[in-house]
Amino acid sequence: MSFEEQIKKLEQKTDALDSPDFTVKQRQKGKLTARERIEALLDKDSFVELNPFAQSRFDDFGMDKKKVSGDAVISGFGKINGRQVCLYSQDFSKIGGSLGEMHGQKIISVLKMARETGCPSIGIIDSGGARIQEGISSLDGYAGIFREMIKSSGVIPQISVILGPSAGGASYAPGLSDFIFMVEGISQMYITGPEVIKSVTGEKISFNDLGGASVHALQSGCAHFIFQNENECLENVKKLLSFLPSNNLESPSAEKPCGAKNSCPKLLEIVPDEEGKGYDMKEVIEEIFDPDSFFEVQEGFAPNSISGFGRLGGYVVGIAANQAKTMAGTLDVNSSDKIARFVRFCDCFNIPVINLIDTPGYLPGTDQEHKGIIRHGAKILYAYAEAGVPKISLILRKAFGGAYIALASKELGYDKVVAWPSAQIGVMGPKQAVKIIFRKELEKNRHNPEFEKEKISELSETFLSPWQAAKLGKIDLIIKPQETRTVLFKLLESLLNKRGNKIPRKHGNIPL
Ligand code: HXC
């Protein structure tokens, strides 16, 4: 038999083609097939499939009749915009995309290749979870995947794209990745499905209400990005990658640095002078950073904070900000988690961080205390203090208490802190402060309302003004709002070659 005939025979044994029936079914659900997803994501003709002949070794419980070449997952490597990625795409048309021993080995193999070659890994998940018929071997398949992902954490960007069910322990592969993408009406992620929940607790809930895209984007905070359809979702995976380096030894790809000469006159209109008046911090971001470059992460979760990637004069930066129009930009348990994790990612992958600060502080109240604001708030402190990338803070208006420490204190390790003249820095707001330090005097002057006003004004002038902070060297520069873009660009460029010295240790113990 000639080589060509032999190859043809082998190809017939593989399930390289989707069955037409299944393709129709997927279309009806608005879904692509496993192979189409790879084609949509990768540069044309760049995909090289690995282990297409791998097959289950198990026969029990009807597996002898269900075996398929490739074992229900397509894996390999290819390119996105000319840069290598390793990826796998689970095939729900075959044994529900369930993960058996060989399926697991194929995924482990591409994850390992991604780490060893220093390129991002992408998992496209559409699976019923651990293959029940393969018992402990399925579970160990997951264990191996999780171990690979943990080894790769901070070495390469790891992305999970959930395009179907991600059921059971399977949900921890996304859970361990840096970013999770989901699609409304198509993606579902849960550790136990509605059937199990009903039998254990009696609670009735639909798949979507339990673990649909919106639930994870708005409530649980597990999803970083949600989209309306698969093509839009896959396009945005490419967009995210355009901000990231391939691994921790590289810098994020800069577009040709173009400088940032133009001023931002609109900032004066966007940010009101009047204290307590809200505004949209996203408009501030649009004005300061390169036009249309902002790519928001976890948009729907903890909307009192903002995190995302952008460009400043061509350089990639991570942007963390308080959203002044939502809960006055206070830090609560969820926004603490959101910002801390974002900063950790930026630090892993050499992405400088710029903070835009306007917050009255950590959110007070029994609810937050009992939810563990101390434990969660500590994550921000830890993440910023440990981050060795360039860190710049701009204080627009308020920076009070713990939030000042976490987001702008040079003692915590910020490289440069700049403020607008409207900045206010203090242990707490002046109204609250006066009630504490002048409690007895206020009691004596309870018939003189002017007394309290005077003290508030004195305290504001003495402590809150950015000039006071600048005199003590706590602020490097006080700048006009119109100069913000230019100044931040110059500071960023001056810090790009920053080198940090870390004392050797096994690892710290971040408050998790
Ligand atoms: C083996 C599975 C399977 C699984 C689905 N299938 N899940 N086979 N092991 N885990 C098979 C079905 O038997 C069926 O085969 C085919 O895939 C399609 O499944 P359907 O149920 O017909 O599809 P659908 O109605 O769309 O429902 C999809 C589903 C459902 C919601 C995902 O299949 C489901 O609930 N599966 C189990 C999900 C789950 O609880 N997984 C957790 C496993 S435990 P046929 O031959 O009929 O077409 C786990 C622990 C791991 O993951 C721990 C690691 C740390």
Residue 255 φ/ψ, nearest 5 degrees: -70, 165
Contact 282, 322 (CB under 8 A): no
> 199 is written with which tokens?
């039998």
Residue 172 lies in a domain: yes
Count how many residues are written for the chain: 512
Q: What is the DSSP letter of 215?
A: I
pLDDT at position 20 = 74
Residue 221 φ/ψ, nearest 5 degrees: 80, 10
Catalytic residue (one of 403, 419, 433, 469): 403
- Residue 14 CA neighbour count, 13 Å, CB half: 15
Q: Does 435 share its domain with 368?
A: no
Q: What is the DSSP letter of 212?
A: B
Name which residue sits closest to atom 34 of ligand 1, judged by CA.
Answer: 128
Q: Which atom of ligand 1 is nearest to 196's Cα?
A: 40
Nearest alpha carbon to residue 429 among 322, 343, 296, 330:
330
Residue 397 lies in a domain: yes
Residues contacting residue 436 through CB under 8 Å, at least 6 positions apart: none
Name which residue sits closest to atom 24 of ligand 1, judged by CA.
Answer: 96
401 catalytic? Reply is no
Nearest alpha carbon to residue 156 among 253, 51, 241, 254:
241
Catalytic residue (one of 402, 406, 423, 426): 402
Nearest alpha carbon to residue 92 among 72, 121, 114, 120:
72
Q: Does 299 share its domain with 402?
A: yes
Q: Which domain holds residue 334?
A: 267-428+465-495
Q: Which atom of ligand 1 is nearest to 170's Cα?
A: 52
Give CA–CA dist 313/331, Å, rounded: 29
Longest CA pairwise span in the chain (Å): 106
Give CA–CA dist 133/265, Å, rounded: 65
Give CA–CA dist 138/125, Å, rounded: 16
Q: State which of 21, 98, 134 you would mutate to test the pocket of ligand 1, scoring each by most atoms of that ligand within 8 A of its C-beta.
A: 98
pLDDT at position 302 = 97
pLDDT at position 446 = 84
SS in 3 state form for 130-194? ECHHHHHHHHHHHHHHHHHHHHHCCCCCEEEEEEEEEEHHHHHHHHCCCEEEEECCCCEEECCCH
Q: Does 113 share its domain with 201?
A: yes
Q: Does 413 share its domain with 436?
A: no
Residue 123 lies in a domain: yes
* Structural Rg of the chain based on CA atoms: 26
> 207 is written with which tokens?
């798949």
Q: Does 213 share its domain with 350?
A: no
62 catalytic? Reply is no
Nearest alpha carbon to residue 498 among 394, 390, 356:
390
Residue 161 lies in a domain: yes
Contact 409, 437 (CB under 8 A): no
Ligand 1 centroid to Cα of residue 97, in Å, is 8
Q: Which residues line ligand 1 (CB under 6 A)?
A: 95-96, 98, 128-133, 139, 142, 165, 167-170, 172, 193
Q: Does 145 share its domain with 221?
A: yes
Residue 24 lies in a domain: yes
Blockwise average pLDDT, block size 10, the chain, 512 residues? 76 62 80 95 98 91 88 97 97 93 97 98 96 94 97 98 92 96 96 92 94 96 97 98 97 77 83 83 96 97 97 96 94 97 97 96 92 95 96 96 94 97 88 87 86 86 87 95 95 91 84 88
Give CA–CA dist 24/193, Å, rounded: 26
> 165 is written with which tokens?
């069910």
Run of H or E residues at 270 = helix 267-270
Q: Does 434 share its domain with 407?
A: no
Tokens 């870390």 correspond to 502
Q: Which atom of ligand 1 is nearest to 131's Cα?
A: 9
Residue 69 lies in a domain: yes
Name which residue sits closest to atom 54 of ligand 1, judged by CA.
Answer: 169
Q: State which of 132, 137, 171 you would mutate to test the pocket of ligand 1, scoring each by most atoms of that ligand within 8 A of its C-beta.
A: 132
pLDDT at position 81 = 96
Run of H or E residues at 436 = helix 430-437
175 catalytic? Reply is no
Q: How many distinct helices (H) and strands (E) make up the chain?
A: 22, 16
- Could you tell me what percentage of the chain is helix, strand and coil, using 3-state DSSP and rounding each to the nearest 5? 45, 20, 35
Q: What is the CATH number of the domain that holds 235?
A: 3.90.226.10
pLDDT at position 17 = 54
DSSP 442-492: HHHTTT-HHHHHHHHHHHIIIIISHHHHHHTTS-SEE--GGGHHHHHHHHH
pLDDT at position 428 = 81
Strands 83-90 and 305-312 come out as unpaired
- What total number of domains does the chain contain? 3
- Residue 257 CA neighbour count, 13 Å, CB half: 10
Give the residue from 191, 208, 243 where a domain finishes: 243
Q: Does 409 share its domain with 451?
A: no
pLDDT at position 420 = 96
Give the residue from 227, 243, 259 where a domain finishes: 243
Q: Does 167 share its domain with 281?
A: no
Residue 185 lies in a domain: yes
470 catalytic? Reply is no
Q: Does 443 share its domain with 472?
A: no
Q: Does 180 share its domain with 119?
A: yes
Name which residue sits closest to atom 14 of ligand 1, judged by CA.
Answer: 96
Contact 62, 110 (CB under 8 A): no
Other beta carbons less than 10 A from residue 301's beta carbon: 21
Ligand 1 centroid to Cα of residue 167, in Å, is 8
Give CA–CA dist 399/409, Å, rounded: 10
Q: Does 280 share its domain with 423?
A: yes
Residue 250 lies in a domain: no
